[in-house]
Structure 1
C-alpha cells in the first residue's frame, strides 16, 4: 500500500464539547495493519480524564437539555445526523479501511447501512408506547420509560462504526448521555462520527470520547460510580471483569463477547451454495468477528466433496491492499494477533488437525499483518482449535452423521453467539434452529444484521441485546405510576378495625 500521501491522523479526547489532549499529554501510535506503519496518534485518557468525561455527561443529563428535549425534536436531531453521516460516507469508507485493514468493498457494504440505524431508533422513539397495566381496584396503573443517565460504550477494533452505532443510536434515542471508548487500535472513524453528532445538534456534554488501553482507560470507565450502564464488545475474559466492575455499582451491562460459530451443512443442500456460504461465514472481515463460521459441520455423506470444493474456493480468495477494490482478504489487526493465531495453528497441527489450505504468512506479504485464509480438517471437536475463539481467517471442518450428532457438536462449546443451518428441508430448518443454543441463528445464510432484530448471545457469549426493541428498552428503566381514581382515601386507623386489604 502506498502511504506516501497518507496524512497523520490525531485522535483527541472529546470532553464537555471540547477536543483536548490527555491531561498528562500521553499518546499512543495508531498503525495501519496492512503496512505496519504509523498513520497517527491518539491521546491516552488517564483516570482523571475519564472522571471529567463521565461528570460532563452526568452534568449534561442533570441539566436535561437532551434528556428532556421533546421526543419529536430528538428524532429530528438524529435524522439530521443520519443525513450528515450519509453525505460523508466516502470519507468513512476510506478512513475505516485505512485504520483496521478491512477490504474497501466490505467496509462500503457495512458502513453504508449505518445511517439506517439512527433513523430506525429515531422512529422507535417516536412510536414506542408505554403500557397500561390492569390492576385490581379503583386504580389506573401505567408505565413510563426513564433514561438511565450516563452510559459507557466500549467498542472493538473489528467493526468500529457498526459496533458503536448498534448501541449509540438507542442510547441517544432514549435520552441518555454517553462516554465512548473506541479500541485504541481503531479510533479514527469514531472521532469523525462524533464531530458530525456535534454538528447535527447534540447538546454539549451529551457525547464524550475517551481513548486509551482497556486495562487503564477502560477499567476506569467501567468502575466509575456515575456510569449506569456499560456496553462492551470484546473477549469473554475482559467482559467478565467489566461485568464484575459494573456489579459493584449496580450498573446494567450489555456484553457481546466471544463466539465459536457453527455452520451446519446438511446433505440435501446444494454443494456449491453451501461452500459459497461457508466461505463467506469463515473469512469475511478476515475472520475477526465473533459470529464468524469458525466451525463448519458437514454431513458425512458429502464431507469429502465439500472439502475439495472448499479448498478450491479458499485458494482463490485474493489477498492484497485493502484499498484496492479487487482485494477480498485483508490483514489481521496487529503483529501480536498474527503471532497468536499462527501459534494456535501450530498447536492445532500438533493435536492432529490437518491443513487443507493456508496456515502461513502469504509470500510477499511480510510487511503488514497478513495470514492466508486457513482451513483445517479432521479436527477433534474438543481440542483447542475446536473450542477456543481464534479471531482470524481460520476455520475447521468437521463431519457429522445426523441431526442429533450435528447438534451435539454445535452446542458442545462454552460459547453461544451465532450459528447457521443450511438445508432445503423446511421442517428440519425450524427443528434444528429451535435446538441450537445460540442467540443468533440464520437459515441458508450467515452474518446478517438489521437494526430491528435483536443481537446477542447465550452462555459465555454475553448478556443483554443490541439493536431491536430489546436494546431500546434496555437503555431505560420502567417507572410504574399508579393513580387512585376513587376520589376517596382509606382511613387505616379508623375505629372499627383495619380494612381487609393492605395493598
Structure 2
C-alpha cells in the first residue's frame, strides 16, 4: 500500500475546508501493472457530494469578488508547488494509471503545472467587451436616442469537474484552473479508478491558500457521487471528460435544470493517409496509438484510412513497428507500452479484437497478451487490416492499443470514411500537398484536425462534434467556457 504523501494512512475528502472520511468507507485502488494495492480511496456518499456542492455555493460569492491578481497569485503558486512535488507525485500517478515513466514525467504532472501557469495569466484577460453605441428610435417602451452597450464575462457559479482515468491530474487541472481563474468555485470528482493523485492535488491547492469551499473533492467507485453532483441544485455547470454514454446521461440530468455543460467525450480518430503522404512520418504518427498511454487517449488516430496505392506499405510498416515496441513495467525507462487501466477494460478490448476477426478483419500484429508478463492488464500492440466501414472495430471507440486499417481509392471516399462514425473529436490528414490537406480538413466533421502531425497547439479551441461532445475549451476558449456573457446597456 502506498501511503499518502501527507504522511497519513488515509486519503480523505475535502468539503468546505474540512478533510473528512468517506461516509461509505473506502475502496481499493489497484496498480494496473502489478495488480497490487496502491491505496484506499474514500467512498463518498451522495449526501457528501451534495454537501460539497453546497460548500462551493457558500464560498462562491466571496471568491467571485476577488481580484484577478488574487486569483492569479494562487494559481501561479499552485503551478510552482506542483512542480516542486513532481518527484513525489509522478510515482503515484504511474502506480494508479499504469502510464509509462516517460508519459508520467513529461505529461501527467508537468503539463498540469503548465496549465496552472497559463490560467494564472488568463485571470488578467479582459472580461469587458466594449460594443459600438446604437441609435434607436422611440418605442412605446422608452424614448429613442443613443444607447451604449458592453458585454461582460462573469463566472457561471459552482462547477462540477468530473474527469476520466487516463490523465487524472492534467485533465482535472485543465478544468479547475480556467474555472477558478474566472471566479467560479469547483467540486472535483476524479475517476474512480485513480483518484489518489487528484486528492493530493486538491491538498496542494488548500496548502497554497485557496479559501475553504473554493475547491472541494469527492471520490467514489460508483456513479453515485457523480450523479448526485450533476443533479445538485447548487451546481450551475458540469464539465465532464469521459465516454459518450456517460456524457449523454449527464446531458439528460443536467438538462432538466438547464445547467451549463462542457462535455469532452469519445473519439474514433481517423488518420487519412493520401497517396502523396510521407509514409514514414504517417506510420510514426499513427503508431502513437500504441506508444502513448496504450491507446487510452480520445484523440488517438486509431483508424488508419490509407490510399490503396500505399496501403500495403503502411500496413507493413505499422506491423513492423508493433513487433519492436517494448511492452512491460511502466517504471522501466525503455518501456513504451504499459498496461490498460483495469482487468475489465482489458477484457473489453479483447472482445473488440475478437469481433474484428469475426467480421473479416486480418489480425496482422498483436491481438493477445504478452507471454512474458504474468501479472498486469496488458494488451499487445494490435493491428487489424482489411477492415470495412461498417465493422464494429471501425465504428466504436476501443480505447486501447488497437489500430484498424481501411483502404480507400480517392479523396472523396477517404473523407466519407473519416466522417462515417458517430464521433467527431480529432482527425488527421497526411499529405505533402498542404493545400490539398487543408481542403480536405475543411470537409472533416471533427472539432480538431491535425495535418501531418499528432501534436497539439494548446491555445486552440478543443472539443468535438456529433457524439464527441458539446462546447470548447483550451487557451482563452477555456476561460470563455467557464463564463457567462452579460449584456449591459445605457442611454447616452
Give the structure-1-normalised TM-score.
0.92
The separation in 1 between residues aligned to 2:207 and 2:3, in whole angstroms, is 23
The separation in 1 between residues aligned to 2:419 and 2:51, in whole angstroms, is 44
Q: Is the 8 A contact 1:282 1:292 kept in 2?
A: no
State the match for 1:444 in structure 2.
Answer: 452
Matches within 5 A, 1:273-352: 273-352=281-360
> Paired residue for 2:129, among 84, 106, 131?
131
State the match for 1:460 in structure 2.
Answer: 467
State the match for 1:201 in structure 2.
Answer: 209
The separation in 2 between residues aligned to 1:138 and 1:268, in whole angstroms, is 59
Does 2:92 match 1:85? no
State the match for 1:489 in structure 2.
Answer: none
1:456-480 Cα distance to aligned partner (Å, 9 max, x none): 1000001011222222112111111
The separation in 2 between residues aligned to 1:483 and 1:353, in whole angstroms, is 66
Q: CA deviation at 1:14?
A: 0.8
State the match for 2:480 in structure 1.
Answer: 473
The separation in 2 between residues aligned to 1:484 and 1:213, in whole angstroms, is 56
Does 2:365 match 1:357? yes
State the match for 1:415 in structure 2.
Answer: 423
Number of equivalent positions: 477
Regions of 4+ moved over 6 Å: none
Q: Is the 8 A contact 1:167 1:467 kept in 2?
A: no
More displaced 10-residue stretch of structure 1: 140-149 or 452-461: 140-149
Q: CA deviation at 1:74?
A: 1.2
Q: Is the 8 A contact 2:278 2:430 kept in 1?
A: no
The separation in 1 between residues aligned to 2:171 and 2:283, in whole angstroms, is 28
Bigger Rg, which one: 1
Q: Is the 8 A contact 2:123 2:181 kept in 1?
A: yes
**Matched position secondary structure for 1:133:** strand
Q: CA deviation at 1:6?
A: 4.6
Does 2:40 match 1:33? no
Task: In structure 1, list runs of 5 or more residues that go unmatched.
Answer: 486-503
1:231-284 Cα distance to aligned partner (Å, 9 max, x none): 111111111010111111110001111111011112222222221111014541
The separation in 1 between residues aligned to 2:131 and 2:58, in whole angstroms, is 34
The separation in 1 between residues aligned to 2:52 and 2:222, in whole angstroms, is 16
State the match for 1:115 in structure 2.
Answer: 113
Does 2:428 match 1:429? no
Does 2:490 match 1:483? yes
Q: CA deviation at 1:424?
A: 0.8
The separation in 2 between residues aligned to 1:123 and 1:448, in whole angstroms, is 20
State the match for 1:19 in structure 2.
Answer: 19
**Matched position secondary structure for 1:455:** coil
The separation in 1 between residues aligned to 2:455 and 2:344, in whole angstroms, is 26
Q: Is the 8 A contact 1:261 1:294 kept in 2?
A: yes
Q: CA deviation at 1:148?
A: 1.4
1:472-497 Cα distance to aligned partner (Å, 9 max, x none): 11211111121223xxxxxxxxxxxx
> Paired residue for 2:396, among 388, 391, 396?
388
**Matched position secondary structure for 1:114:** helix
The separation in 2 between residues aligned to 1:460 and 1:364, in whole angstroms, is 38
RMSD: 1.4
More displaced 10-residue stretch of structure 1: 293-302 or 464-473: 464-473
The separation in 2 between residues aligned to 1:158 and 1:120, in whole angstroms, is 22
**Matched position secondary structure for 2:479:** helix
Q: Is the 8 A contact 2:268 2:300 kept in 1?
A: yes
Q: Is the 8 A contact 1:281 1:446 kept in 2?
A: no
> Paired residue for 1:261, among 237, 257, 269?
269
Task: In structure 2, list runs of 5 or more residues that go unmatched.
Answer: 136-144
1:155-212 Cα distance to aligned partner (Å, 9 max, x none): 1101111211111111000001100000111112111111111122111110000001
Q: CA deviation at 1:344?
A: 1.5
State the match for 2:140 in structure 1.
Answer: none
Q: Is the 8 A contact 2:273 2:431 kept in 1?
A: yes
More displaced 10-residue stretch of structure 1: 197-206 or 408-417: 197-206
The separation in 2 between residues aligned to 1:125 and 1:384, in whole angstroms, is 45
The separation in 2 between residues aligned to 1:97 and 1:425, in whole angstroms, is 40
More displaced 10-residue stretch of structure 1: 111-120 or 398-407: 111-120
From the superposition, tell whether residues 189 and 6 of structure 1 become closer, same or farther in structure 2 (CA, over 3 Å). Answer: closer
1:350-397 Cα distance to aligned partner (Å, 9 max, x none): 111110110001102231100000000001221101100101110101
1:13-55 Cα distance to aligned partner (Å, 9 max, x none): 111112110234x211100000111111111111110111011
**Matched position secondary structure for 2:60:** helix
